Amino acid sequence: MPRRKWLRSGAIWIVLIVASLAVWLAFSGAGENYEPVDFTSSVIPAIRDGEVAFLRTQEGESRVEVHYTDTGRMPGESRLPPDTNIIEVLDSAGIAPDEVPIEVEQASRWGAILTGLTIFLPILFLVGILILIMRQSQGNSSQAMSFGKSKARLFSSNRPTITFTDVAGVDEAKEELAEVVEFLKYPEKFASLGARIPRGVLLVGPPGTGKTLLSRAVAGEAGVPFFSISGSEFVEMFVGVGASRVRDLFEQAKRNSPCIIFVDEIDAVGRQRGAGLGGSHDEREQTLNQILVEMDGFDSSTNVIVIAATNRPDVLDPALLRPGRFDRTVILDRPDIAGRRAILDVHTRGKPVEDNVSIDNLARQTSGFSGADLENLVNEAAILAARRNKKTVGRPELTEAIDRVIAGPQRKSRVISERERLMTAYHEAGHALVARMLPHADPVRKVSIVARGMAGGYTRTVPDEDRIFKTKAQFEDDISVFMAGQIAEHLVFEEISTGASNDIERASSIARRMVTEFGMSPLGPRAFGKKEEMVFLGRDISEQRNYSDEIAWKIDQEVQDIVDRSHKRAQEIIQTHFDKLEAIARLLIREESIEDEELEALFDMPRPRPDLVGPPTGRPSRLSQETASGGRVERRDEDEDDSGSLGTLRPQPI
């Protein structure tokens, strides 16, 4: 059958017709060249003068070939008058038949064929082109008819699957989805108790936290077909295509039930209605309406579960989130230290990692990393080991991979002057020194003056433990660390550079949020300003000012006071420990990068600890109560609240 498939192509037939035409033209023109002559005025006088050797014609044709006695002369070609033959023409001219030899050839079958081809070949050529155009139009019409078909990819149960053992760091989410697996495997168990199978599960979390992986693990555990589609694949430029694709997708799912439909980035079609650019007739809204109808129109006997993923649940239409459509919302956040350790165990499984590599230490240094970041980290480390012609992955490769994930690859080809290199060293030394001496600042893990990404140097700070929220003291210490780079430049070189632009921007942003969002100022616990967001675009476009000019002036003053206090504290630390600043800068110039152990070796005093700093009023802190239990200080957290608005902050280069 495959051998005959090429015969169905219209292009092949066109090529064959053109080739036949070329062959015919080659054969028809392969003989001698003939000079057109008039029979009456040229040929007859030549016969009388004895210049013609013989005449040749074909039976039933008016064409006559004239061959001369002079062999060097080109033969002639003439046409007889219609309804005459050569004998009659010569007789009327007074030439006897024996004066010139006449060769009369019989009509050839090939000649008739060639004559027919001369007439019909152009017609056949045009017919072939017409057939090709018709087939193309049929193909385009079939593609047009397929616009309304679903583009979902089906992963059947007989393919290699992903299970819950391949997913780590999201134990609570796995427990929630384990019940979905039981619904699909044993529906009669729940039906006997009158329980209804959930229609949909919404996975919410930042990018890279494993939403797609977890949904495929559910399908792998349940052993059912898995339809995967992106929200953007529903919508086309033609009106009604998205709704048609939704109908087709759910019809396929019902035929393959029990099964799972996974819609990635559902916010592409699930945004709030009435916010589109096209009003109520927007194509996205029509697609959303069809999704709402299909999800709420399942039969009770149809075991089809919709799993959707998004990192923007705030822009989804409320009708999607009500019970009966997406019954459950599963939150996937960035993993804590235990989750990161489990994820690293999964991704280092089967890789030749050296024995001296501590997964616990690696998990501690990657606070704020998502699952995708950790996978990328291990992969980058393996690539670096292969580039260095090593057989195993060691600590240097993993440490380098952390820096690559956070700040980007090294820019070794960047050429800078010695003065700029020295200024960068003191700038980063200022960050490192202030972060080392402030109790609420994150510990310094690495300082480098090697350019990475857009940064000329960086100081990487990572907290010892994961945080759910941040305090005012931590924010103020962070601002002091940001200010320290420019302060060190000014004290050493008596001038400032543009290298602190990002530091100033981030410090100003933190100070303003402390005043306007977190209530960490004398203005009290108030939120100033309301951000206006266009749901269709999914981003903040302006801030609605709900306060007076007097309050605006006070906000600016409070922001300035916070920045000034933090700036003054950082300046006092650098002036007091200027010798340590010099030592750190010299070590950076010599080594280019220093780790936390090398930095700590420059100090002869322990790092200040937050729990040893008492409250300003002198009263005992509720968060740090000493109990007489073998002389050990126990920390009892009474006011922890899981509703912190900050979440775990990802480490950023300074």
Q: Is the pLDDT of residue 297 over 70?
A: no
Same topology, domains 153-331 and 418-612? Answer is: no
Which CATH code is given to the segment(s) 418-612?
1.20.58.760
Provide the residue count of the chain.
654
Contact 58, 112 (CB under 8 A): no
What local confidence, expressed as pLDDT, does residue 221 receive?
A: 81
What mean pLDDT comes out for the span 403-407?
84
User: Could you read off the pLDDT of 62-74 as tens digits, one per residue?
Assistant: 777 778 877 777 7
CA nearest neighbour of 483 among 507, 461, 460:
507
CA atoms within 13 A on the CB side of 521: 25
- Cβ neighbours of residue 364 closer than 8 Å, sequence gap 6 or more: 337, 462, 464
Q: Kindly tell me if the per-residue pLDDT of 21 is higher than 50.
A: yes
Rounded to 10°, the helix 501-516/549-576 angle is: 130
Q: What is the mean pLDDT of the chain?
A: 76
The CATH architecture one would assign to domain 2-111 is: 2-Layer Sandwich (3.30)
Half-sphere exposure of 422 (CA within 13 A, CB side): 7
Give the integer Cα–Cα distance in Å for 281 and 449.
56
Band of the pLDDT at 489, cuts 50, 70, 90? very high
- Residue 294 structure tokens: 């299909």
Among the listed residues 428, 476, 489, 558, the single catalytic one is 428
Residue 428 a catalytic site member: yes
Give the type of residue at 110: W
Provide the pLDDT for residue 476.
Answer: 94
What are the phi and psi torsion angles at 444 (to 5°)? -80, 125
How far is the C-alpha of 499 from the C-alpha of 9, rounded, in Å? 65
Residues 194, 188: Cα–Cα separation, whole Å: 10
Q: How far apart are CA 283 and CA 262, in angstroms?
A: 21
Has residue 633 got a pLDDT over 50?
no
Out of 3.10.129.10, 3.40.50.800, 1.10.8.60, 3.40.50.620, select the CATH number for domain 337-407.
Answer: 1.10.8.60
Q: Give pLDDT tens digits for 505-525.
A: 999 999 999 999 999 999 888
Beta strands in 241-327 (DSSP E): 259-264, 304-310
Tokens of 606: 């322990």
Kindly give the interhelix angle for 578-591 and 549-576, rounded to the nearest 10 degrees.
80
Residue pointed to by tokens 């989805």: 177
| Dist CA 37 CA 28 (whole Å) | 20
Residue 584's pLDDT is what? 94
Question: Peptide bond before 258: cis, by omega within 30 degrees of 0?
Answer: yes
Q: Which residues contact 304 (CB under 8 A, 6 or more apart)?
A: 250, 253, 254, 257, 258, 259, 260, 261, 298
Q: What's the confidence (pLDDT) of residue 466?
A: 78
The predicted structure's pLDDT at residue 139: 46
Percent of the chain with pLDDT over 90: 19
Q: pLDDT band for position 492 (50/70/90)?
A: very high
Q: Pseudo-torsion of CA 342, 600, 571, 501, nearest 10°?
A: -50
In this prediction, residue 10 has a pLDDT band, given cuts at 50, 70 and 90, of low
Q: In what order do the strands lie in the sheet with 226-230?
A: 153-155, 226-230, 259-264, 304-310, 200-204, 328-331
Give the CA angle between residues 10, 16, 21 to the nearest 5°. 130
Residue 398 pLDDT exceeds 70: yes
| DSSP 3-state of 405 | helix
Q: Is the pLDDT of residue 141 over 60?
A: no
Task: List phi, psi (to 5°) of 104.
Answer: -110, 110
pLDDT value at 109 more than 60? no
What's the rounded mean pLDDT across residues 392-418?
A: 83
Q: Which of 110, 304, 312, 111 is nearest to 202 (CA)?
A: 312
**Does the pLDDT value for residue 607 go beyond 70?**
yes
Q: How confident is the model at residue 473 (pLDDT cuts 50, 70, 90)?
A: very high
Instruction: Report pLDDT digits (tens) over 218-276.
Output: 878 877 888 888 877 776 655 567 778 888 888 888 888 788 888 888 888 888 876 55
Whether 466 and 648 have beta carbons less than 8 Å apart is answered as yes
What phi and psi, each to the nearest 5 degrees, are found at residue 375? -65, -40
Q: Assess contact for 257 and 216: CB atoms under 8 A.
A: no
Mean pLDDT for 586-602 is 90
More confident site: 76 or 137: 76
For 46-113, the DSSP string reads HHHTT-EEEEEEETT--EEEEEESSTTSPPEEEEPPTT--HHHHHHHTT--GGGS-EEEEPPPHHHHH
- Sequence-distant (6+) residues with CB within 8 A of 309 are 202, 203, 204, 211, 212, 215, 262, 263, 264, 265, 266
Identity of the highest mean pLDDT range in 42-46, 245-249, 282-286: 245-249
Judge contact between 57 and 75, C-beta under 8 A. no
The domain limits of the chain are 2-111, 153-331, 337-407, 418-612
Model confidence at 147: pLDDT above 50:
no
Give CA–CA dist 150/152, Å, rounded: 6
Q: Give the pLDDT confidence score for residue 571 in this predicted structure.
A: 94
Residue 631 pLDDT > 50: no
Percentage, residues of the chain above pLDDT 70: 73
Q: Which of 228-237, 362-371, 478-487, 519-528 has the lowest mean pLDDT?
A: 228-237
The mean-pLDDT minimum among 49-63, 217-231, 380-394 falls in: 49-63
Residue 535 has pLDDT above 60, yes or no: no
How many CB atoms are located within 10 Å of the residue 163 CB? 14
Residue 551 main-chain phi, psi, to 5 deg: -65, -40
Cα separation of 555 and 533, whole Å? Answer: 23
pLDDT in tens, 153-199: 565 554 547 788 888 888 888 888 888 888 877 877 877 888 777 78
Per-residue pLDDT band at 583 (split at 50, 70, 90): very high
Cβ(128)–Cβ(10) below 8 Å: yes
DSSP-H helix ranges across 310-417:
318-321, 337-348, 359-365, 371-387, 395-407
Q: 235, 284 in Cβ contact below 8 A?
A: yes
153-331 placed in CATH 3.30.420.10: no
Cβ atoms of 181 and 222 closer than 8 Å: yes
User: Which pLDDT score is estimated for 509?
Assistant: 93
pLDDT of residue 472: 92
